[in-house]
Amino acid sequence: ENRIFSGIQPTGNLTLGNYLGAIRNWAALQDDYECIYCLVDLHAITLFQNPEELRRNTREVAAGLLACGIDPKKHILFNQSQNQDHAELAWIFNCVARMGWLNRMTQFKEKAGKNRENASTGLFVYPNLMAADILAYKATHVPVGEDQKQHLELARDIAAKFNNDWEKPDFFPLTEPLILGAATRVMSLRDGTKKMSKSDPSDMSRINMTDGPDAIAQKIRKAKTDPEALPSEAEGLEGRPEAQNLVNIYAALRGVDVETALGDVGGKQFSEFKPILSDVAVSVLGPIGEEMQRLLQDVAEIDRILCEGSERSRAITNPILREVREVVGFVQ
């Protein structure tokens, strides 16, 4: 039986990277699978969050997911802190994962920066909590952008070690990542070698899902490029990170592959391609941004959806956690 789980941090703005790398795929998977989508507020506080902002961002990201077509009736949408099983299983995984495994995590190194002594210990064990998120549901598939691949490999290592240590060969599934679409790693508009991120200090580096048509057009107009025209074959994008990124975005927004996209726009100068790209971006993001604003008028309804979602999430994880306690040897 296939079960989909994925999570997103309720920090700052949702970006085009979140949308193309994850959320759009989450929405599409709902037709064929049982899906559980989580706003990971416990992950968010690995870096300090202002409480009012955290609450506001949680509701805003919930509105974003709903506006993108996540269906909270057929599937589950909730925030992580309302299901304590995530934190309990994460503790058990803290005792399964090895220091050496976590020392290899590139995201920790990036987020901790130079001053590693001053990083929260939560930031270090963050991937264990992520494994707990997934395995508390025994989820089989996890749709994410490419930047989460290393964390998912760790989740597999944790599942395998747990199964092996307690001699329960099939207890946790070895979860598969689903990295889908033409833009699995959307890059900064200012630097084609850096990931587009909600935490980049420059707002010009990213397209936010709440940006209006003027902001989108301006950011794309100012996006870094090179002097050449677009190639007509995908190989021609090699060594041209900014061109590659804009073409990937264009292809993903249109839901086609890069070859097909270049069939339309290959040979064009950026001055001609950029307005075309802006129009596609506005036509996809415009209605989503408007729907988000509409949903945010009724915060109580969003809170109700999350509360109900968490109740249904607990109905899945409570029996799995009971099994886990039994396996580990806790009296209950």
Please check if 186 is assigned to a binding site. yes
Enumerate residues 6+ apart whose C-beta is below 8 A from 291. 66, 67
- Pair 71, 304: CB distance under 8 Å: no
Instruction: List the interface residues with ligand TYM, window 140-169 (CB under 6 A).
Output: 142, 144-145, 147-148
DSSP, residue by residue, 269-329: -HHHHHHHHHHHHHHHHHHHHHHHHHHTT-HHHHHHHHHHHHHHHHHHHHHHHHHHHHHHT
Question: Which residues between 206 and 235 bind ligand TYM (CB under 6 A)?
Answer: none
User: Which of the following is catalytic: 138, 195, 224, 274?
Assistant: 195
Q: To the nearest whole angstrom, how small is the minimum distance from the Cβ of residue 234 to ligand TYM?
A: 19
Establish if 134 lies at the interface with ligand TYM (CB under 6 A).
yes
Question: Is 222 among the annotated ligand-binding positions?
Answer: no
Radius of gyration (Cα) for the chain, nearest Å? 21
Among 56, 111, 161, 185, binds ligand TYM (CB under 6 A): 185
Binding to ligand TYM (CB under 6 A) within 262-321 occurs at: none
74 is catalytic: no
Nearer to ligand TYM, 122 or 268 (CB): 122
3 state DSSP class of 253: helix
| Residue 34 touching ligand TYM (CB under 6 A) | no
Q: Is 130 in the site for ligand TYM (CB under 6 A)?
A: yes
40 contacts ligand TYM (rule: CB under 6 A): yes
Q: Which of 185, 268 has the CB closer to ligand TYM? A: 185
> 233's torsion region: left (phi>0), alpha (psi -120 to 50) or beta?
beta
Residue that has been written with the tokens 């079960």 in this structure: 3
From the list 111, 149, 161, 268, the catalytic residue is 111
Quick one: 206 or 274, whose CB is closer to ligand TYM? 206
Does the annotation place 147 within a ligand binding site? Answer: yes
Is position 176 annotated in a ligand binding site? no
Q: Is there binding between residue 42 and ligand TYM (CB under 6 A)? A: no
User: CB neighbours of 325 closer than 8 A, spacing ≥ 6?
Assistant: 332
User: Token pair of 312, please?
Assistant: 């249904």
DSSP E strands, 150-196: 176-178
Retrieve residue 241's tokens. Answer: 């990170």
Q: Do 291 and 64 meet the contact criterion of CB atoms below 8 Å apart?
A: no
Q: Is 195 a catalytic residue?
A: yes
Residue 283, annotated as binding a ligand: no
Q: Looking at residue 3, what DSSP letter applies?
A: E
Among 3, 4, 9, 154, binds ligand TYM (CB under 6 A): 9
- The least distance separating ligand TYM from the CB of residue 195, rounded to whole angstroms, comes to 5
Q: Going by C-beta distance under 8 Å and a sequence separation of 6 or more, which residues neighbour residue 189?
A: 196, 204, 205, 206, 207, 219, 220, 222, 223, 224, 245
Q: Which residues line the annotated binding site? A: 9-11, 17-18, 133, 145-147, 186, 195-199
Give catalytic residue positions: 111, 195, 198
Residues in touch with ligand TYM (CB under 6 A) = 5-9, 17-18, 21-22, 40, 43, 130, 133-134, 142, 144-145, 147-148, 184-186, 195-196
Binding residues for L-tryptophan, as ranges, are 133
